[in-house]
Structure 1
Amino acid sequence: MAVPKKKTSKSKRDKRKATWKHKATIQAQKALSLGKSILSGRSKFVYPTQEEEAEEE
């Protein structure tokens, strides 16, 4: 016979939601930091620019 599951406590639910939101915040900070480094010219990786793409064609 089917038995209902136990109710998840509010603290567990809130903790799970806080973790999820914190991960999103970290990713947003990384994206902003990467954008700033690209604009300032201090980026540590190579990415194609419009001039390089025009030369290849």
Structure 2
Amino acid sequence: MAVPKKRVSKAKKNSRKANWYRMAKIKAQNALSLAKSLLTQRSTSFFIPTKLEEEEEEE
């Protein structure tokens, strides 16, 4: 026989929701920071080949 689940309190629901939004905000900040570092070419974790480097390798 099916038994209904117990309700989750508002405090617990709001706590989980706030945690989810906090994690999403942190991920968005990290992505924006990485994009800015790539645009300013100051990134140390990525290597972006330029056209000059590609032409030198062909020769």
TM-score range for the pair, normalised by the shorter chain length: 0.7 to 0.9
TM-score normalised according to structure 2 size: 0.73
Secondary structure of residue in 1 paired with 2:12: helix
TM-score normalised according to structure 1 size: 0.75
Question: Moved runs in structure 1, 4+ residues, more than 3 A?
Answer: none
Residue 20 of structure 2 aligns with an amino acid whose one-letter code is: W
Q: What whole-Å deviation, never above 9, does each CA across 1:23-47 have from its counterpart, x for those lacking one? A: 1101110011011111222101213
Identify the residue that residue 33 of structure 1 maps to in structure 2: 33
| Alpha-carbon distance in 2 for matches of 1:42, 1:10 | 45
1:2, CA displacement in angstroms?
A: 2.0
Identify the residue that residue 16 of structure 1 maps to in structure 2: 16
Structure 1 residues 28, 10: closer, same or farther in 2, change over 3 A? same
C-alpha RMSD of the superposition: 2.2
For this pair of structures, how many residues does the alignment match? 55
Structure 1 unaligned segments of length 5 or more: list them: none
Structure 2 unaligned segments of length 5 or more: list them: none
